Amino acid sequence: MSISELIARCISKNATLAVAESCTGGHVADLITNIPGVSAVFTAGVIAYSRAAKITILGVPPAVLQKYGLISEETAQAMALEMRLRAKADYAIATTGNLGPDVLEGKQCGLVYLAVSSSTGVFSRELHLGGDRAANKHDAALAALNLLAEVIDKEPFDDR
């Protein structure tokens, strides 16, 4: 599903969307907001790059970051869940990872975690990307939108 088709699906469902980004630095929101009509469903986007921002802006529990680190599936899931709740959105996407070029928290370059929160649960994916920083950012953002499309496709379609 293209990004345009994904947004059209959200619009037809009247399903609102929010994003919480770390490693993608706003690229997911950028891709979404390039689509005409998205203002009908896109509610909020946050770039929570630092540990402090994840805690104070998104409400990620410090214990999650302490136990699993900034770059983890658990952190991505907490970011998505908290963003969905705070934005009062039907869906929220979250990204966190190491785009390179150096190892961070013992996590290799190209390791990214994505999550999507909906009323039916939180769904996540681990990526291992091999490009440079810019390519990894773009690939992670597209993968996050693909994960959202998969989640939406699995849920009952409800024309409100």
Q: What is the CATH classification number for the domain harbouring 39?
A: 3.90.950.20
**For the chain, how many structural domains are there in total?**
1
Q: Residue 157: pLDDT band by 50, 70, 90 thresholds? A: low
Segment 98-155, tens digit of pLDDT: 998 888 888 999 999 999 999 999 999 999 999 999 999 999 999 999 999 999 998 7
Q: Sign (positive/negative) of CA torsion 58, 62, 64, 68?
A: positive
Tell me, yes or no, whether 159 lies in a domain.
no
| Total number of residues shown for the chain | 160
Segment 30-49, tens digit of pLDDT: 999 999 999 999 999 999 99
Q: Residue 160: pLDDT band by 50, 70, 90 thresholds? A: very low
Tell me, yes or no, whether 40 lies in a domain.
yes
Tell me, yes or no, whether 109 lies in a domain.
yes
- CA 77/CA 45 separation, integer angstroms: 16
Segment 42-86, tens digit of pLDDT: 999 999 999 999 999 999 999 999 999 999 999 999 999 999 999
Identify which of 106, 100, 102, 19 has the alpha carbon closest to the alpha carbon of residue 70. 106
- CA 119/CA 129 separation, integer angstroms: 29
Domain that includes residue 76, residue range: 3-154
Is 25:47 a contact under the CB 8 Å cutoff?
yes
Tell me, yes or no, whether 69 lies in a domain.
yes
Q: Are strands 121-128 and 111-118 parallel, antiparallel or unpaired?
A: antiparallel
